[in-house]
Amino acid sequence: MRKVSFSMKRFRVLLIYPPFVSSWSPCLSIPSLAAYLEKNVECEVVTQDLNLEYLNYVATLADQVATGDRTSTNLCSDALELLRSPQKFPDSEEELLRTLHAINSGIKKATKHHSPTEVNFFNPRHLPTHPRNLLFPYGPVVPKLKMRYSEDSSSQIRLATEDEDENPFISFFESKVLDSILEYAPDLIGISAAFPQQHIPMFTLARLVKQSVPGIHITIGGAQISKIGENLNTSRAFRIQLMPLIDSIVIGEGERALHRLVDCLREKQWPSNIPGITHTSGRIFISNLAAPAASMNSLPTPVFEKSRLRQYLCAGSHPTLPLQVTRGCYWGKCTFCDSFKLLGRYRIRPPQMLFDDIHMYQERYGVSEIQFTDEALPPSFMKKLAKHVIMNRTPLRWSTYARFEKYLTAEFCEEMRAGGCRVLFMGIEAASNRVNDLMDKGVTKAQIVSTLQNLHNADIQVHLFSIIGFPGETREEAVETFHLLRDNTHLYSSYSFVPFILEKNASAGIDPKQYGIKEMFEDTENDLTTHFSYTVTEGLSMEETRELYFSFNDELANSGAYNPIYF
């Protein structure tokens, strides 16, 4: 646990990031919230990324299962230490594979008594040709732990929280987490979820805490909770099955809502009218409007626990911290994306404040690599950042999400490289100009290829995102995207090629007929899902899309293209 600050007032806040997602590098959500509370509220704050504790926990179990003797060689734990150590990090692909296989095998053994349907720590196909070329800040480690319970169903999540035979998080929380929470005795626990796979562990922990100390106020929030916010407000199953396990929900950005929530609870008041807070009052379910977004100028630099940073698996190859420059998306037009609705208006942090953030990261944590987590960093800001690094000779390497823009000329890319840019994550989505126009991407195939060439010549790595099966896309157009990826593997480092998903809050979901969607089918069994099945008037069907998706990914893997992430 990381204690942020102390005061004479004993109100205590515990912010938790639940398992089971990547432990390659830290999350940004709870360090950002902790910094905001430290600056604005008189309370004691602790942050806890339980992914680190869970990884160490299953490694210890794996060692015991493998040896039958607690004092014998710690096979899985030793393998984790290799990834965390700059001196010991594997220097060959063979050694890295052996290390990851040891961890993967150990995690499977450690969870075998709980019989989840699928457990993976990594996929051997998701490795680069040389381990030191891991695409920072992401490694080949994206855990998956599936149970027979749906993570999108309130009723099934509730059943999973009580199933000791299948849910491995119950024994983990009971043996390694619950006592420390009870000892700390927080007045407020905030659980932040970024992905659907955190639903079951999040509510499992909430149930166990409520069962032990009903008086602790538990609130949930984060990007994933905001994404399913409408579902939470309308689902009867959620109100019956899961709302009793918590006290409130933060929808949207959390800083101001959490600030007000702490103030209310400190004064022993119930948070009845706080913007952005959903709660119950008796049998009444009350959902307040989202809290006003905080100014980017008002947000302090995120705070991390320095002693814990070496526990992240990036520590051995590329010690990296996340940072955010903007909120919202400066383009905000892509018709397949729901971010424009979820993230609100576009805002950007003043350049000098960003430079101060970077300086603080370097002074406080000694890191020289930063991952910007923005939806897309504007070229104008990338240029300012690169110039600052060059002029001040700042020892910094950085990566960010970016759009294909006309500004990414050969000269611009060379300047970015000199200014510390090492990796860009970029969406081509489709090679067909017609399909990209349907998606409102604002980019052409010729522009994509020329930009990739400029970035390649500047020695900037690129991870490409692409989508197959956008409504109206033909088989021939999908093949064109496949050919673009297959024929240009020398211009990019890795890719993610995924089937189109119809999100209800994307433009295509809000106005389906405009995009040739004939029918949409809501998943009535999974009340927390945010996407629909559908049929189209022309182009690839959902079934044809999936067939091509598997076929294309297999062929791309055989061509040597590197796909580092599960999708």
pLDDT of residue 345: 86
- Under a CB-based contact definition with an 8 Å cutoff, are residues 74 and 61 in contact? no
pLDDT of residue 283: 60
> Up-side HSE of residue 29: CA atoms within 13 Å toward CB?
24
Which residues does 96 contact at the CB level (< 8 Å), separation at least 6? 90, 127, 131
Residue 503 CA to residue 486 CA, distance in Å, equals 28
**Interval 283-303: pLDDT, tens:** 666 777 777 788 999 999 999
pLDDT of residue 343: 78
In terms of C-beta density within 10 A (0-12 exposed, 13-18 middle, 19 or more buried), how is residue 347 classed? middle
Residue 405 CA to residue 411 CA, distance in Å, equals 14
Place of tokens 């004691």: 44
pLDDT of residue 381: 96
Task: Report, as ranges of residue numbers, the positions in the chain whose pLDDT lies below 70.
Answer: 1-9, 66-74, 93, 113-118, 120-142, 281-285, 560-567
> Which residue(s) pair with 532 in the sheet?
502
pTM of the model: 0.92
pLDDT of residue 304: 95
Angle at 325 between CA 437 and CA 422, to 5 degrees: 75
Residue 233 CA to residue 218 CA, distance in Å, equals 17
